[in-house]
Structure 1
Amino acid sequence: MKKFDSINVIPLIDVMLVLLAIVLTTASFIVHDALKLDLPDTQSTSSYQPTNDPTKHLAIDAKGTLFLEDKPISYANFKALAAKIDPKTDIVIKVDRHTVFGKVVALVDILKANKLNKLTFLTDKATTPES
């Protein structure tokens, strides 16, 4: 009987490289949006083009919860924080289609009170015209 002094690791390295390729390929399909929002559909819209300017991302979910950079924040806390945001900052807003309109108005009121006028509302492009 032949004695084995070492283990051949080449097949193990091959398997690991294949697994690494699979992980890297599927990782590119992962959506980084942590919030699950059902954005309203629009017919006449243009694609959002991010700028190099500073940007703040706001979202309101169906329950009316406000999120700043995907972290929940109360409207009162955001009101205090909005006073510190530079008016040249782009504000990108995503609102769930089932949100109570009063929550959107409250958010826009806070932004306008602090002279934050560079607002972009994100929507989904409608695939079929509504009747």
Structure 2
Amino acid sequence: MKIKRGDGLNIVPFIDIMLVLLALVLSISTFISQGKIKVEVPTANNAPQENNSDDKPIVIVVSNDNKIYINDEEMNKDNLEHFIAKIPNDKVVNFKGDKSSSLEYLVFVIDQLTKKGHQHDKFRIDTQHN
């Protein structure tokens, strides 16, 4: 079978399939990025958009029962202080605190980062957009 010069291939079905695959990948990737610890972050009307950088941030999570996790590993407050002291000052740190957790841990993390001279633009408090 020979295709004449004026005839083309119909790529509309191919585009439809690719859009469905793209939608699946995007919906699955949002579940993966949530992490293992279930945290209900507070809402904010003007929450900043997530910064997509190649450098993976350090994620500090405080659950609703005030347990501390760093990159999904449980840690106590003393170990957290030592861990923060070792973080490079230009490393991105995300804080995710459950809305029913104690504010004490947020203040503690900010205090430790400030004490060691961490760059203030490299610290984020995760919220959900309202």
TM-score w.r.t. length of structure 1: 0.68
Could you list the per-position Cα deviations for residues 73-128 of structure 1 after superposition, in whole angstroms to 9, with x for gaps in the alignment?
Answer: 111112112222110101011111001111211122122222223201111111xx
Corresponding residue SS for 1:94: strand
Contact 2:95 2:106 in 1 (8 A): no
1:40-119 aligned within 5 A: 40-53=42-55, 55-116=57-118, 117=120, 118-119=122-123
Contact 1:75 1:107 in 2 (8 A): no
Instruction: Give structure 1 regions of 4+ aligned residues with deviation exceeding 4 angstroms.
Output: none
2:126 is matched with: 122
The structure that is helix-richer by fraction is 2
The offset of 1:29, in angstroms, is 2.9
Corresponding residue SS for 2:86: coil
**Alignment RMSD (CA, Å):** 2.0
1:119 partner letter: F
Between 1:107-116 and 1:56-65, the stretch displaced more is 107-116
2:68 partner letter: L
- Listed as ranges, the gaps of 5+ residues in structure 2 are 1-23
Percentage of identical aligned residues:
16
